[in-house]
Amino acid sequence: MGAGGVALTLADDFESRADGGLRLAAVALVLREGLEGPEMLVIKRSEAEHDHWSGHLALPGGRAEPEDESLLATAARETFEEVGIDLGAGGEAVARLGTVRPQSPLAPRVSVTPFVFVAPGEYRAGAGPKELLLSEEVAAAFWVPVGELKRGGRSAVFRMVFAGVEREWPAYPSQHGLIWGITERILTEFLSLVD
């Protein structure tokens, strides 16, 4: 399966580890061939007291570790740790998207680089796809049709009271909840590149 017309090439280089004082992180936008077209993996983060993104819908990923050779390696390692998909065993990295940073001053100081991967063949929908092995950091994982997200667009709004003021963020609706924040921004760039 191709990436559905992704127009970027993979250019994986470790930016400056300092990156303006921000911690480096990477996420994996993992695609598979579904019964009705491409699907992407979305996780629901476990509820955790000190996790700024506790309970959010997100992409597998996390902070770069010193032993990671690159941010691409960070995305692949974190995906394996969180959901059990070994992207190095039959998967394919097909694109690097633009690095994003949290917009809230209260969020952790981190820069997040997303990579688009095609999952190994055993994760195809249909005849008994391989099961995901979720870590304690992940409450649930879902394969969401890319076409459904593209058709629905950012047609929902996530609202939250923040420092006594109700704030709103654009969001993608899904049957598993709203996709908003950094993940919404990554998804918006990705969907602008696919047919």
In a domain, 165, yes or no: no
In 3D space, the residue among 18, 192, 15, 23 whose CA is nearest the CA of residue 102 turns out to be 23
In a domain, 85, yes or no: yes
Which regions in the chain score pLDDT beneath 50? 1-18
In a domain, 33, yes or no: yes
Domain count, the chain: 1
Q: Which domain holds residue 81?
A: 19-150
Give me the CATH number covering residue 34: 3.90.79.10
- At residue 166, the pLDDT reads 86
- At residue 168, the pLDDT reads 83
Based on the number of CB atoms within 10 Å of its own CB, is 88 exposed (0-12), middle (13-18) or buried (19 or more)?
A: middle
- At residue 160, the pLDDT reads 76
The two beta strands, 37-45 and 57-58, are: antiparallel
In a domain, 45, yes or no: yes
Is the C-alpha dihedral spanning 132, 178, 191, 72 positive or negative? negative
- Which tens digits make up the pLDDT trace of 59-92? 999 999 999 999 999 999 999 999 999 999 999 9
What is the H or E stretch that residue 155 is in?
none
In a domain, 161, yes or no: no
- At residue 12, the pLDDT reads 41
**CB atoms closer than 10 angstroms to residue 160:** 11
**Cα–Cα dist 78/5, whole Å:** 25
In a domain, 195, yes or no: no
- Quote the pTM value: 0.84
- At residue 78, the pLDDT reads 97
In a domain, 182, yes or no: no
In a domain, 181, yes or no: no
**CB atoms closer than 10 angstroms to residue 11:** 8
